[in-house]
């Protein structure tokens, strides 16, 4: 139950639903498998695993959620080959060329025939609501997957005023200053990975891994005008991650100090283990998230006013 990524959403109005009330609302969007002609479905499942029944799990004032995504795998190459084969049969049999509109009709028929036989795969996507702190935190490696879960939650509860966080200082400018020699704030240390972009060039990208970020090579790129858009950091020897300029956290790892604390908790089954890990993780992130935003001058609260990008 350790999140590997953080996509943060600021709740711009208090989240007032209790865990019990939220569970009732999620039940209306509970997971169901793909129908024979459905390419994908997304719905809520118990976050503590198949043996559990509740669609939420609460600890430390936080509410854990889990969405299951199921999709049918129908490769475009398979569809394209089947369409070409059928179009060729028509051309040979009827002695005429198959036009674009007819090809589209053939494609629709092919997809309809192949979809029920397509392999199915599923994945779990976790998130939690921290109502006391005003955050929705999604464990998603991409903005698209995070938005899918947020949209599902919004459909389930009816309204969810939430938006991406905004900071006073531009993250890419601050991270660039650190690489250029400015000391990182107390508690944070630079690690060995960064990504630099040239703001004046579509193709100017430099990715560095397992490298001394104070090296002259990095400094030369900075002097040439490149800016840091991703930067690996560690925090208080408790976690490490890659911070992106859009304030997404990638490749989050909870380090030995945290893992040792978790190991000291005796858990009799998988659900108890997940509960303990979730409790420890949320306490850590409740400290880390404000510290992360403080790196960039704190939150720009004016950006959260109505009409400034709030989604409901």
Q: Where exactly are the structural domains of the chain?
A: 7-74+120-163, 76-116, 171-304
DSSP conformation class of 112 = H
Cα→Cα distances 8→92, 128, 248, Å: 57, 10, 7
Cα angle, residue 284 at apex, residues 283 and 289 outer, rounded to 5°: 105
Per-residue confidence (pLDDT) for residue 130, from 0 to 100: 98
DSSP conformation class of 160 = -
CA 7 to chain centre: 5
159's tokens: 């309204």
Per-residue confidence (pLDDT) for residue 306, from 0 to 100: 67
Per-residue confidence (pLDDT) for residue 310, from 0 to 100: 42
What's the whole-model pTM score? 0.88
Q: Is 186 exposed, middle or buried (0-12, 13-18, 19+ CB in 10 A)?
A: exposed
Q: List per-residue pLDDT tens for the chain, 312 residues long.
A: 899 999 999 999 999 999 999 999 999 999 999 999 999 999 999 999 888 899 999 999 999 999 999 999 999 999 999 999 999 999 999 989 999 999 999 999 999 999 999 999 999 999 999 999 999 999 999 999 999 999 999 999 999 999 999 999 999 999 999 999 888 888 999 999 999 999 876 768 999 999 888 888 899 999 988 999 999 999 999 999 999 999 999 999 999 999 999 999 999 899 999 999 999 999 999 999 999 999 999 999 888 876 554 455
Per-residue confidence (pLDDT) for residue 308, from 0 to 100: 53
Per-residue confidence (pLDDT) for residue 153, from 0 to 100: 98
């Amino acid at each position: 139950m350790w999140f590997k990524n953080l996509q943060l959403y600021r709740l711009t109005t208090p989240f007032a639903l209790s865990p019990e009330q939220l569970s009732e609302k999620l039940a209306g969007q509970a997971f169901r498998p793909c129908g024979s002609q459905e390419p994908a479905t997304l719905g809520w499942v118990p976050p503590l695993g198949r043996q559990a029944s509740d669609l939420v799990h609460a600890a430390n004032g936080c509410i854990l959620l889990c969405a299951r995504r199921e999709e049918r795998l129908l490769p475009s190459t398979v569809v394209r080959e089947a369409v070409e084969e059928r179009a060729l049969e028509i051309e040979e049999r009827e002695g005429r060329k198959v036009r674009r509109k007819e090809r589209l009709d053939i494609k629709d028929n092919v997809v309809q025939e192949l979809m029920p036989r397509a392999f199915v795969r599923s994945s779990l996507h976790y998130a939690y609501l921290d109502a006391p702190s005003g955050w929705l935190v999604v464990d998603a490696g991409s903005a698209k997957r995070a938005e899918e879960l947020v949209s599902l939650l919004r459909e389930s509860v009816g309204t969810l005023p939430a938006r991406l966080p905004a900071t006073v200082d531009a993250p890419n400018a601050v991270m660039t200053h650190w690489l250029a020699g400015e000391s990182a704030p107390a508690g944070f240390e630079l690690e060995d990975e960064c990504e630099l972009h040239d703001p004046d060039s579509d193709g100017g990208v430099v990715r560095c891994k397992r490298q001394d970020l104070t090296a002259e090579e990095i400094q030369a790129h900075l002097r040439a005008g490149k800016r840091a858009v991703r930067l690996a950091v560690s925090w208080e020897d408790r976690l490490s991650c890659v911070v992106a300029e859009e304030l997404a956290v990638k490749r989050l790892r909870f380090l030995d100090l945290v893992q040792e604390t978790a190991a000291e908790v005796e858990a009799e089954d998988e659900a108890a283990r997940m509960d303990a890990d979730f409790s420890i993780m949320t306490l850590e992130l409740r400290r880390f998230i404000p510290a992360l935003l403080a790196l960039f001058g704190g939150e720009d609260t004016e950006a959260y006013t109505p009409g400034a990008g709030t989604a409901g």
